[in-house]
Amino acid sequence: MKVICAGFPKTGTKSLAEALRQLGFVVYDFIENFWYLEKEWNSIFGRGGAKENFRRMFENVDAICDFPACYFCEELLEAFPDAKVILSSRESDSVENWLDAMTTQSSILSNNLTFRLILALTPTGNRLLSFIRNIGRIIYGDKPMSRYRPLTVNRMLMKKVYLRHYTYVLQAVPQENLLTFKCSEGWEPLCKFLGVTRPNMVFPHENIRGEVIEKSLISNPMILKIKRELTVVVCVAFACLSCLVYTFTRTHF
């Protein structure tokens, strides 16, 4: 582990993750943490863990972004004391602005029918829902997502957790190993901090107003696998319904 992106979601983490990938880093964002490390994270959520757990989980990973890993910055630093920490924030540095962005993304999640069907009807979707709910429980002391109800945002709890986390990172990480970063600053401070050559391309700008959901449903290979599960479930359900209708009509007519 070389880089810990300790910023919360909706602080440019998707753009930062893509920038690190363009620089050649192996990055685990939210979906990779679920896909490859679900069992390990669930064990940590349920029973806790030690630095050996984190060292084993991320020994072949260069950088982490987003939940749940960013919340465990302290434990990751114990496992990888030489790692550099990037603390991203929104342009305004306003907690209320961040809360508004989280609320917007929550609304997009709640209103996306395909995403909700995936959570409700597929085996992997059910595991993903449980994973998301565990994150809400551990980080915010809340279970914000349900199969049947809209995703809720407890702004009071989220604000307290956000401020506590950012205060901790700013105080605990040595200044020479810490970069406070806004994506609008682009490549220059990031590349200088990491000691790498600035690429000849525009700095990425991802997940504008929560668009990552729609993009993932179209192109993310892990989400596409879950969508195939949904297709199978729907086809099986249709076949069963057709058999029932056929049996009923033959019996009664």
The pTM assigned to this predicted structure is 0.83
Q: Exposed (0-12), middle (13-18) or buried (19+): which is 110, by Cβ within 10 Å?
A: middle
Residues with Cβ < 8 Å from 9, sequence gap 6 or more?
30, 66, 67, 102, 105
Tokens of 58: 């991320």
| pLDDT band with cut points at 50, 70 and 90 for residue 2 | very high
Question: pLDDT higher for 129 or 62?
Answer: 62
Q: Where are the domains of the chain?
A: 3-252
Summarize pLDDT for 93-106 with one digit per residue, the tens. Answer: 889 999 998 888 88
Which CATH number does the domain 3-252 belong to among 2.40.50.100, 3.40.50.300, 3.40.50.410, 3.30.43.10? Answer: 3.40.50.300
Condensed to tens digits (0 to 9), the pLDDT of residues 179-236 reads 999 999 999 999 999 999 999 999 998 765 555 556 655 666 777 777 677 676 667 6
Lowest mean pLDDT among 74-88, 99-113, 223-237: 223-237
